[in-house]
Amino acid sequence: MKKNTILTILDFNGIPDKYEKKLYDAMEYLGNKERLVICLYFMSELSVKSMTHYNIERNLRRIFPPSKKGKLPDDYKDFQASVQRSYFDRETQKIKEKEINLEDRLWKNLGDGLWKNTEKGNCLAVATLKKEGYDIHKEGAIYI
């Protein structure tokens, strides 16, 4: 069994410059939902006021290779609406309609236009990265 590559992160304040290329390559066969949840995982220690659609988009574009349909961020009429807000809105609507339970949501709204992953969202990000061959370690943390 192939051993995963460890990416050591100092903090989760956005996509780390030194791993941008590796993450970009890892996203190649993933859907936009997985790309979004991974992006927000790397932003998980930012302050609430930093979790804006603009900041999410800025980070997501850095690791967004052509989508399954071959689209790059600039190919979307409105990248932010198509690849971010639509997922947040769709999940919120499914909760209102009781199609999914509140505890199963991947994202939580922190205020007007402010979003972050739930714990379940972060777990999905870690599991997806692991499946793509990467283990994420925070610098200074102890792993057994």
Nearest to 107 by CA among 30, 50, 51: 51
Percent of the chain with pLDDT over 90: 90
* pLDDT score recorded for residue 69: 83
Q: Read off the pLDDT of each residue in 12-28 and give the average, rounded to a whole number.
A: 96
Of 17, 30, 22, 48, the residue nearest 115 (C-alpha): 48
At 70 the pLDDT is 87
Query: By C-alpha distance, which of 37, 38, 44 is closest to 11?
Result: 44
Would you state the pLDDT for residue 1?
Answer: 62
pLDDT at 106 over 80: yes
Give pLDDT tens digits for 55-79.
999 999 999 999 878 889 999 999 9
Rounded Cα distance between 48 and 88, Å, is 16
pLDDT score recorded for residue 55:
97
For the record, the structure tokens of 112 come out as 């007007």
